[in-house]
Amino acid sequence: MFVDRVLSGMRPTGALHLGHYHGVLKNWIRLQHEFECFFFVADWHALTTHYDTPEIVEQNAWDMVIDWLAAGVDPSQATLFIQSRVPQHAELHLLLSMITPLGWLERVPTYKDQQEKLSDRDLSTYGFLGYPLLQSADILIYRANRVPVGDDQVPHIEFTREIARRFNHIYGREPGFEAKAEAAVKKLGAKRAKLYRELRTKFLEQGETAALEAAHALLEKAQNLARGDRERLFGYLEGGGKMILTEPQALLTEASKMPGLDGQKMSKSYDNTVGLRDDPDNITKKIRTMPTDPARVKRTDPGDPAKCPVWQLHLVYSDDTRKQWVQQGCRSAGIGCLECKQPVIDAVLSEMKPMRERAQRYLDDPTLVKSIIADGCEKAQKLAEETMREVRAVMGLDYR
Ligand code: TRP
Ligand code: SF4
């Protein structure tokens, strides 16, 4: 069966905060209702940059899964797993490395960017160069066609598409491809077969991409086809051979509008975060001590919300009436800063209350988390193994 499949990973590099929630997690939570979703802990990816601190990987991984669950990622809707528990990712990474030109990896923009940005780390390793290829293996092994990522990761998805294309080009050729493809067309049934042929001709002769898309939709709905035949028909549309690996699309995640406590982007490296599991007193204190418009030295000095990070939080949490109350009260010195902060404190606390409660359940009984992950890993392994069987076969490693 062919369904839209979403996959995304997160590196376990530390406690998650409201920036992650408003940026990535809310998006995942929405997607889990719409698509078949796979979310995983990219622990091998964490080691590419943090190989010298292995002691933090495992604890961060469990904590991160708890944060996902706390935020509302639902294990009955989405499959949650840990990358290194599905060793097939490593096998696919290795096999793909055989066909990956070094220049492609060296040209991925994050390679040089990260080396410059994280100049305190030694990133001149083989593992770090291979980061995008490992990511390609993560995606291709599930034939995921939609990958939610931030804009910094788009080049990695583009790279993945190129790898898939190269793989299909090299290994999708089989003896008698045309005849097999023609036989598969007949299996579509007379009506669909006719439509398939028309669309294929339109695409091949006139380059109509709309026809190609329509043909893809037709194949996606043809659920009685065996996988091999489906791959042939996808490949046959564009001429060549079988489409063994699926080219994914990036699903661009909008950058989080969540500001940090100092008005900069919320980020661990700026030390301006509200952690998803911070306790309420601590959060209250953090917000009460946030800087405000420096012009408001005394309570009677008027201020300008545009110069105040608290206003950024009102933009996330307040309705129009309250925003007006802030604008007026601030400019006229009608309200004090603590008064202005209180509704934000209340909103953050009430947003986080259900998260803290959900997290507590998992903290009280860690076996719950372990069993969610064990189930997810098992499901992931099954799918990954299906792809690997085919990849091994076309790469001459069948041994049956
Ligand atoms: N590189 C991603 C990041 O830093 C994490 C990641 C690893 C990922 N494998 C993936 C994301 C596969 C999407 C799909 O955010
Ligand atoms: Fe900032 Fe509100 Fe104080 Fe104005 S009143 S400076 S918006 S905290």
Query: For 203-235, how does the pLDDT look when each residue is reduced to its tens digit (9 = 90+)?
Result: 988 888 899 999 999 998 888 899 889 999 999
Cα gap 204→170, rounded to integer Å: 21
Rounding to the nearest 10 degrees, give the CA dihedral for residues 190, 195, 198, 203.
-140
Cα gap 366→66, rounded to integer Å: 9
Going by alpha carbons, the residue nearest to atom 8 of ligand 1 is 9
Query: In which domain, by residue range, is 323 found?
Result: 278-363
Q: Is position 266 within any domain?
A: no
Q: Is position 90 within any domain?
A: yes
Query: How high is the mean pLDDT of the chain?
Result: 94
CATH number for 71: 3.40.50.620
**Per the structure, how many domains does the chain have?**
3
Q: Is position 194 within any domain?
A: yes
120 and 83 part of one domain: yes
Going by alpha carbons, the residue nearest to atom 3 of ligand 1 is 10
Nearest CA-CA partner of 85 in 374, 390, 399: 374
Average pLDDT of the residues in 50-79:
96
127 and 148 part of one domain: yes
Q: Is position 60 within any domain?
A: yes
Sign, CA torsion 316/20/6/108: positive
Residue 333 backbone class (left: φ over 0; alpha: ψ -120 to 50; beta: rest): left
Does residue 139's CB lie within 6 angstroms of at least one atom of ligand 1? yes
315 and 336 part of one domain: yes
Atom of ligand 1 nearest to the CA of 11: 5
- Looking at residue 37, what is its pLDDT? 98
Q: Is position 242 within any domain?
A: no
Q: Is position 269 within any domain?
A: no
54 and 164 part of one domain: yes
79 and 193 part of one domain: no
User: Ligand 2 center to residue 338 CA distance, Å?
Assistant: 8
Cα gap 142→115, rounded to integer Å: 30
pLDDT digit string (tens) for 74-107?
A: 999 999 999 999 999 999 999 999 999 999 999 9
53 and 122 part of one domain: yes
pLDDT digit string (tens) for 332-360?
A: 999 999 999 999 999 999 999 999 999 99
Going by alpha carbons, the residue nearest to atom 8 of ligand 2 is 337
94 and 129 part of one domain: yes
Q: Is position 265 within any domain?
A: no
Average pLDDT of the residues in 272-290:
96
First to last CA, the chain: 26
User: Ligand 1 center to residue 8 CA distance, Å?
Assistant: 6
302 and 374 part of one domain: no
User: Ligand 2 center to residue 157 CA distance, Å?
Assistant: 42
